[in-house]
Structure 1
Amino acid sequence: MEPSRATTRRHLSTSPFKPKVPEPIKTFEVGDRVSHDKEGLGRISSVEGTYAVVVDLGGGKLLRVMSPFAKLHTL
């Protein structure tokens, strides 16, 4: 049995199926109010490029969230 391919297959222009469209990268700014699916409400206290953000959840609790920010939503 052969192992599965590690690469993705390219989309053929004659294919009846639509190609996968990558999701746009979320961007945040310092001071944005956000909601985290598990931790709750907070405010962005620092942004580390497009790779990570630090969320102040109140009470001195900080949370560092890495990209692609699936559980983080702006309010």
Structure 2
Amino acid sequence: MKPASGALRRHLPTSPFKPPPPAPPAERFSMNDQVSHDRYGLGVVIGVEDELAVFVDFGSRQVRITTPFDKLYKL
């Protein structure tokens, strides 16, 4: 048996099963947004890189976080 791949499966219109829900849009951050990160704590967005990454100042360090922003939440 082959392992599951990361590719999406094709949904047939005649299938009795519902199609998978669309992926939610990535959260948008802007300069000076206050954010919380599960690992680094509270911080402030100091740069946005074409909605691909954000630079966040957490006080003791500055971190570049790329999409998807799973652990980053806007306050």
Scaled by the length of structure 2, what TM-score is found?
0.83
Distance in 1 (CA, whole Å) between partners of 2:70 and 2:4 is 26
Q: 1:26-74 CA distances to partner (integer Å, 9 max, x unpaired)? A: 1100010000011100010000011100001014x10110011111000
Question: Number of aligned pairs?
Answer: 73
User: Cα RMSD (Å) of the superposition?
Assistant: 1.7
Quote the sequence identity (%): 47
1:70 equivalenced with 2:73 (yes/no) = no
Runs of 4 or more, structure 1, over 3 Å off, are: 3-7
Gaps (5+ residues) in structure 1?
none
Change (3 A) 1:31 1:14: same
